[in-house]
Amino acid sequence: MPLEKADKIWMNGELVNWDDATVHVLTHTLHYGNGVFEGIRAYETDKGAAIFQLRPHIERLFQSAKILFIDIPWTIDQLVDATLETVRVNGFSSCYIRPLAYLGYGEMGLNPLPCTVDVSIACWPWGSYLGDDGVKNGVRMMISSWQRHDPNAMPPAAKGCGHYINSQMAKVQAIKAGYDEAILLSPQGYVSECTGENLFVVRDGGIVTPPTSAGALEGITQKTVRRIAEDLGIPYTQGNILRSDLYIADEAFVSGTAAEVVPIRSVDDREIGDPGPITQAIQEGYFAAVRGQSPQYSSWNDYVNA
Ligand code: PPE
């Protein structure tokens, strides 16, 4: 789907026109993939657009940067404000938001330390990442023959630009094989996560999700799911999951900012079936929270026009 343009993009402290938000071909990150990014969403609420879990996303951007020795020349507060401003000036009632810190033009070669660090924040309207039908009825997944990174090859806790080559290999394999999405296993053979989502299995009335030691990103939506589950009295644990656990799950679903909360219909052609009651309860809780309809979670909504 081609990108739907917005009016302005925040670049290094200035709001520039969408078409002017360009970089030089010798931009360091374009060659070596060393940059960090976030994916955030703003949702329509009764009080206008509200950004969901804004600060945790910006905090994770700084953690990713710290892991990769990228020195972001802004503070967390400044980028929180800049994100609010970017959504505000574009006038969206809901949108996807993409902050990016990248190594700029002026240096080449593998030592990233002398590079300038540029920061941009773009936003655009983005529908359901795994499709409207997927959100409602679930998606078909396959286990990829591509493994999730070994933590000593690429640190999965950093949301690094180049890390996503791994996700893209798995995604293409799944799409070409006729599936909606791929599940990656860790080098040790445990279920890790999907190409851009955390994964959850429901068995015996409880939710289990893989730990970061299986190569999963510590998802902000995953933490949101945890809180909603615990408040609903649904047992929630982190633990290693085998591929066969997926095949015999009572329910399974994924979570991510772009994807939101999406049921899994089948894994490697083993049917899990229609979305089950726990998946539906988490989905309902999630969509109410992002739309600012849950007073107990109001601290998760940052109103753009507050
Ligand atoms: N794992 C991976 C590998 C991942 O990329 C994401 C987010 C998650 C888990 C879930 O994290 P969180 O959004 O904090 O709940 N992926 C972002 C980028 C997706 C994309 O394809 O681009 C996102 O969802 O915005």
pLDDT in tens, 236-280: 999 999 999 999 999 999 999 999 999 999 999 999 999 999 999
| 223 flagged as catalytic | no
**Alpha carbon distance 36, 206 (integer Å):** 34
pLDDT in tens, 155-168: 999 999 999 999 99
Question: Ligand 1 centroid to 162 CA: how many Å?
Answer: 14
Nearest CA to ligand 1 atom 20: 196
Nearest CA to ligand 1 atom 6: 196
Question: Ligand 1 centroid to 249 CA: how many Å?
Answer: 23
Atom in ligand 1 nearest the alpha carbon of residue 41: 25
Q: Which CA distances in Å does 148 have to 29, 163, 171, 217?
A: 22, 10, 12, 11
Q: Which of 5, 47, 136, 159 is catalytic?
A: 159
Q: What average pLDDT does the chain have? A: 97
Burial (CB < 10 A; 0-12, 13-18, 19+), residue 72, is buried
DSSP string, 213-260: GGT----HHHHHHHHHHHHTT--EEE----HHHHHT-SEEEEEETTTE
Q: Residue 280 CA to chain centroid, in angstroms? A: 20
pLDDT in tens, 56-111: 999 999 999 999 999 999 999 999 999 999 999 999 999 999 999 999 999 999 99
Nearest CA to ligand 1 atom 25: 39
For residue 250, which of 239, 261, 264, 240 has the smallest C-alpha distance? Answer: 264
When pLDDT is cut at 50, 70 and 90, the band that residue 1 belongs to is confident
Angle, nearest 10°, between helix axes 277-290 and 220-231?
110
For the whole model, what pTM was predicted?
0.98
Question: Ligand 1 centroid to 133 CA: how many Å?
Answer: 20
Domains of the chain, each with CATH number or no CATH? 8-124 (3.30.470.10), 132-290 (3.20.10.10)
Question: Ligand 1 centroid to 232 CA: how many Å?
Answer: 25
When pLDDT is cut at 50, 70 and 90, the band that residue 306 belongs to is confident
Pocket of ligand 1 (CB under 6 A): 39, 167, 193, 196-198, 217, 219-222, 255-259
Atom in ligand 1 nearest the alpha carbon of residue 221: 15
Question: Ligand 1 centroid to 171 CA: how many Å?
Answer: 13
Please report which helix (H) or strand (E) contains residue 85, including its range: helix 76-90
For residue 207, which of 245, 179, 180 has the smallest C-alpha distance? Answer: 245
Token duo for residue 114: 């002398």
**Alpha carbon distance 109, 67 (integer Å):** 20
The overall longest dimension of the chain from CA atoms, in Å, is: 57
When pLDDT is cut at 50, 70 and 90, the band that residue 2 belongs to is confident
- The dihedrals phi and psi of 253, each to the nearest 5 degrees, come to -155, 170
Query: Is residue 283 scored above 80 in pLDDT?
Result: yes
